[in-house]
């Protein structure tokens, strides 16, 4: 879709939502129901780049795990076929799925500047295709932050333009997770011009930035949101600042069919297993009415 058409569509959607904002959200959306698969990030359950994440995921009761491509120290090990096979074997053994990949090392080694990261992102598409997962999260925090960085953003767009055709060919979505607003994400997506570059939406990050996350999610919809992090910083899910009932209703309404991936949401001093059993139970009751 041309850039002007996308922007016009979002502006019209915003106007429409403003017209109905006086009605209670639940009354508008409560008729829609979905059954979401629920996973967790391997780093959030203390298993960054560790195949034992599958064992812990089964103990928690999760449907799956978002796994990391790797670390600098292990040379982004998931690029090795034998490592891929080990993860797939563990997933089968513990009856969990690999929901998606994440290239979290881009927070330390920025995609906007480090030459080696072009190979990481390109290879992540091959890995995702090989292990049959649809989404790769590209992280833009820390050293990789794009907020207010015009030059860095332009370089990211240039690099994404190069890798996007491969992602399209292999049926893999590259999801941008960053401190950027919905509109700033859309500017990048429109500049790249590929339907396989989308937004990896993290409710806690966007809330922390002061964005209206409910409006953003409605406007982005399932066309642009490829996956969702259910997160609270320093709180269990349901005990923090995010209204997950609103999040659920919006995702249902826009026909989002992807995973709900739990990240963070472990209060200081609380062990991971009980924290994540609570978080899973909360998501199941809230989103799936289990």
pLDDT of residue 202: 98
- Report yes or no on 135 lying in a domain: yes
For the segment 39-97, what is each residue's pLDDT rounded down to a tens digit?
Answer: 999 999 999 999 999 999 999 999 999 999 999 999 999 999 999 999 999 999 999 99
Tell me, yes or no, whether 249 lies in a domain.
Answer: yes
What backbone phi and psi angles, to 5 degrees, belong to 201? -90, 125
Instruction: Assess if residue 111 is contained within a domain.
Output: yes
How far is residue 234 from each of residues 1, 6, 80, 159, 275, measured CA to CA in Å?
40, 36, 35, 35, 11
Answer whether residue 25 is part of any domain. Answer: no
CATH number for 118: 3.20.20.150
Is 20 part of a structural domain of the chain?
A: no
Q: Is residue 269 within 8 Å of 236, Cβ to Cβ?
A: no
Which residues in the chain come in under a pLDDT of 50? 1-5, 7-9, 11-31
pLDDT for 94: 98
The answer to whether residue 251 sits within a structural domain is yes
Radius of gyration of the chain (CA): 18
- pLDDT score for 289: 80
Residue 6: inside a domain? no
Give the pLDDT score at 34: 78
Could you tell me if residue 134 is inside a domain? yes
Domain carrying residue 74:
36-287
**Ramachandran region of residue 230, left (φ > 0), alpha (ψ -120 to 50) or beta?**
beta
Total number of domains constituting the chain: 1
In this predicted model, what pLDDT tens digit does every residue of 68-80 receive, in sequence order?
999 999 999 999 9
């Amino acid at each position: 879709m041309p850039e002007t058409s996308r922007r016009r569509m979002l502006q019209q959607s915003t106007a429409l939502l403003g017209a109905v904002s006086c009605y209670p959200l639940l009354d508008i959306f409560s008729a829609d129901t979905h059954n979401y698969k629920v996973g967790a990030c391997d780093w959030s359950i203390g298993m960054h780049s560790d195949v034992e994440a599958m064992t812990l995921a089964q103990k928690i009761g999760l449907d799956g795990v978002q796994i990391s491509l790797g670390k600098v120290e292990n040379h982004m090990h998931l690029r090795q076929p034998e490592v891929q096979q080990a993860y797939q074997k563990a997933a089968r053994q513990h009856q969990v799925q690999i929901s998606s990949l994440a290239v979290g090392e881009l927070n330390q080694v920025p995609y906007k500047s480090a030459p080696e990261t072009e190979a990481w992102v390109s290879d992540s598409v091959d890995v995702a295709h090989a292990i049959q997962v649809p989404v790769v999260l590209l992280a833009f925090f820390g050293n990789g932050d794009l907020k207010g960085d015009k030059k860095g953003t332009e370089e990211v767009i240039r690099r994404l333009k190069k890798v996007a055709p491969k992602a399209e060919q292999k049926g893999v979505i590259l999801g941008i997770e960053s401190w950027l607003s919905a509109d700033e994400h859309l500017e990048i997506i429109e500049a790249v011009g590929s339907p396989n570059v989308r937004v990896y939406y993290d409710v806690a990050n966007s809330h922390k930035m002061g964005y209206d996350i409910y409006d953003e999610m409605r406007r982005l919809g399932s066309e642009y949101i490829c996956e969702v992090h259910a997160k609270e910083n320093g709180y269990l899910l349901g005990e923090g600042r995010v209204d997950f009932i609103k999040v659920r209703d919006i995702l249902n309404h826009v026909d989002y069919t992807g995973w709900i991936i739990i990240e963070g949401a472990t209060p200081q001093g609380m062990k991971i297993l009980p924290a994540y059993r609570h978080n899973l139970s909360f998501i199941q009751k809230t989103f799936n009415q289990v």
